Amino acid sequence: MNRIFFRFFVLVMLSITGATFVIYFAFSRLFGDPLDDIARRQAAAQIFLLEQYVDKAPSDEWLTRLNNVRVVSNVRYDLVPLAEVRAALASGRRAALDRGEIVLDPANRSFWRRVDLEGERYIGSHEEVLHAQNLPIDIDQALKMEALRYVIVAVALLVPIALWSRSHWQGLQALSRVADEFGSGKLTARAQMKPSDTAYPLAERINHMADRIEDLLEAQKSLLHSVSHELRTPIARLEFGLELLDARAKDPDLSKRVKAMEGDLRELNALVGELLDMSKLDSARNLQAAPTELAPLLRECTQMLPPSPHALDCTVADDLGELELDPRLLARAVCNLLRNAQKYATGRILLSASRTANAVEIVVDDDGPGIPVDERDKVFEPFYRLDRSRDRATGGFGLGLSITRKAVALHGGAVRVDSSPLGGARFVITLPA
Ligand code: ADP
């Protein structure tokens, strides 16, 4: 944000500088060089003396009068060949010289003027130019005054612009903070502004948008929760009914079908259970955090797994220390990763954990097929499965990783997936220590 206003200031300064140059060149073109004008006023006495005293002399006395002036004046008057001066001047000034006008050179505090155009004052006088030097011209001071004028105008413009843009800047900063908070998942974040603030209309719209998004997400969550909850009763009734049917079934074929239906119902029940678990993780109210020793908790996770033919190594350092966490939720997150590893590994699984200065990393490696790089974000989305046919066999709904991510996020941590040195997938949970 600072950059935008800095750029704005630079732009204003550049515009003022540009305008100053444009004014200078436009004035020079239309009314003659302003510096020449200043120099002409400063050298007015010498020009007056030349035009009213020396030039008014009878033709044969012109040189005598010039010499008189030379004696009494600090200004140096030289007579130089016309060709030499013409060669040194730019075309515009050369033309002025040719017309017999005074040509000023403010930078060198001098001027040129032809002695005359007809050669009347002395022999060859039309071929000579009078070069007056050491004139009392002080362009520096005029330039300083111009610079001061420029600075005063710039400051007079910048101060109100700065005051005006400060209020915008503060408002926009407040809005970008709200957008950051909202984007990072704090759905209650809102912009607090007074109606007199310049960004108030924008803040109102952003707040309105945030209200709508929050309402929609809440409605979605509560719908998911209610549907899952409501499904439980009919599922229980169906389970009961199927058990009765199974008990009374004489026909072995019917009994087989009932058994298959019971299997489907169990799956449906498990899905509803996972959906309910996931919807509970949407609110931090369900986090029951307490100081917990991490190493024993992780070792316990390895005991909670179903039996598996794959070797599970656990290299958890004893000095992991205590963390403020909900042991039930974190165990659920780690168990989900371990269960997935059991499903997809071909022989080896490794659970490791280490502590750095400000974080604890829990890593689950396996030697299974791994997860392609472009799927690594998507596998954390609910119901996302890489290969439906493979997972039908492994029996997942695609909710495990999404539950893990929500559980870890409730602890202020993050989970990511990488390639494992064992050849398969590596899941890394990072928790702030
Ligand atoms: P599921 O309950 O289907 O396992 P998850 O959310 O736990 O759902 O996982 C989502 C998908 O990510 C899985 O269907 C599987 O395709 C892939 N996946 C998860 N863990 C692993 C792993 N360790 N190795 C390979 N693929 C995995």
Mean pLDDT in runs of 10 for the chain (433 residues)? 73 86 88 85 93 90 92 93 94 92 92 92 92 92 85 85 82 91 88 88 94 91 86 90 85 86 88 85 79 92 90 86 91 95 94 90 95 93 76 70 93 94 96 89
The reply to whether 101 and 121 lie within a common domain is: yes
346-389: pLDDT as tens digits: 999 999 999 888 899 999 999 999 999 999 999 999 888 887 65
The CA 394 to ligand 1 mean position distance, Å, reads 9
> In this structure, what are the phi and psi dihedrals at residue 142, rounded to the nearest 5 degrees?
-65, -40
pLDDT of residue 45: 93
From the CB of 368, is ligand 1 less than 6 Å away? yes
- Same domain membership, residue 427 and residue 294: yes
- Residue 188 belongs to a domain: no
From the CB of 105, is ligand 1 less than 6 Å away? Answer: no
Q: Which tens digit of pLDDT belongs to each residue from 274-316?
A: 888 888 887 777 788 899 999 999 999 999 898 888 999 999 8
* Closest of 357, 332, 308 to residue 429, by C-alpha: 332
- C-alpha of residue 385 to centroid of ligand 1, in Å: 6
The residue from 141, 160, 178 where one domain ends is: 141
Length of the chain (residues): 433
| Closest ligand 1 atom, residue 401 Cα | 6
Q: Where are the alpha helices (DSSP H) in 199-251?
A: 200-248
Ligand 1 binding pocket includes 386 (Cβ within 6 Å):
yes
Based on the fold, state whether residues 313 and 245 are members of the same structural domain.
no
Residue at 102 is within a domain? yes
83 inside domain: yes
Is the CB of 344 within 6 Å of ligand 1? yes
Question: How far is Cα of residue 223 from the mean position of the Cα atoms in its chain?
Answer: 37
Predicted confidence at residue 207, as pLDDT, reads 94
By CB atoms closer than 10 A (0-12, 13-18, 19+), residue 328 is: exposed
Ligand 1 centroid from CA 428, angstroms: 14
Please indicate, yes or no, whether residues 318 and 391 belong to a single structural domain of this protein: yes
171 pocket-lining for ligand 1 (C-beta < 6 Å) = no
Q: Mutual orientation of helices 34-42 and 139-183 as an angle, nearest 10°?
A: 140
Rounded to the nearest whole angstrom, what is the distance from the C-alpha of residue 183 to the centroid of ligand 1? 27
Rounded-to-integer distance, Cα 220 and Cα 229, Å? 14
| DSSP designation for 412 | T
Contact criterion met (CB below 8 Å) for 211 and 241: no
| Per-residue pLDDT at 2 | 65
Residue 183 lies in a domain: no
Q: What is the CATH number of the domain that holds 390?
A: 3.30.565.10
Q: Which of 280, 311, 338 is the last residue of a domain?
A: 280
Q: Which strand (E) or helix (H) includes residue 291?
A: strand 290-293
DSSP 39-67: HHHHTHHHHHHIIIIITTS-GGGHHHHHH
Judge if 85 and 136 occupy the same domain: yes
Do 235 and 345 reside in the same domain of the chain? Answer: no
| Prediction pTM value | 0.60
Distance 225 CA to ligand 1 centre (A): 23
pLDDT recorded at residue 60: 83
> Ligand 1: does its nearest atom lie under 6 Å from the Cβ of 340?
yes
Do 295 and 346 lie in one domain? The reply is yes
- Mutate which of 308, 335, 336, 340 for ligand 1? The one with the most ligand atoms within 8 Å of its CB, which is 340
230, 250, 280: which is the final residue of a domain? 280
CB-ligand 1 contact for 400 (6 Å cutoff): yes
State residue 395's pLDDT score.
64
Residues 294 and 272 reside in one and the same domain: no
- 3-state secondary structure at position 432: strand
Q: In total, how many domains does the chain have?
A: 3
User: Are residues 122 and 204 part of one domain?
Assistant: no
Domain presence at residue 63: yes
Question: Which CATH number do you get for residue 229?
Answer: 1.10.287.130
For residue 423, what pLDDT is reported?
Answer: 94
> What separation in Å is there between the alpha carbon of 398 and the centre of ligand 1?
7
Rg (CA), the chain: 46
Q: Are residues 363 and 413 in the same domain?
A: yes
C-beta 415 within 6 A of ligand 1: no
Question: For residue 418, how far is its CA from the centre of ligand 1 (angstroms)?
Answer: 13
Q: What number does the ligand 1 atom closest to the CA of 380 have?
A: 6
Of 278, 385, 392, 405, which is best to mutate to test ligand 1, by the most ligand atoms within 8 angstroms of its C-beta? Answer: 385
| 46 within ligand 1 shell (Cβ under 6 A) | no
Nearest protein Cα to ligand 1, atom 4:
396
Give the tokens for residue 61: 């006395």
Same domain, 275 and 306: no
Residue 416 CB-half CA count within 13 A: 9
**Atom of ligand 1 minimally distant from the CA of 387:** 16
Q: DSSP string covering 294-334, please?
A: HHHHHHHHHHTSPP-SSEEEEEE-GGG-EEEE-HHHHHHHH
Does any ligand 1 atom lie closer than 6 A to the CB of residue 382?
A: no
Are residues 124 and 53 located together in one domain of the fold? yes
Residue 104 structural domain: 2-141
pLDDT value of residue 388: 62
Residue 30 tokens, joined: 């239309």
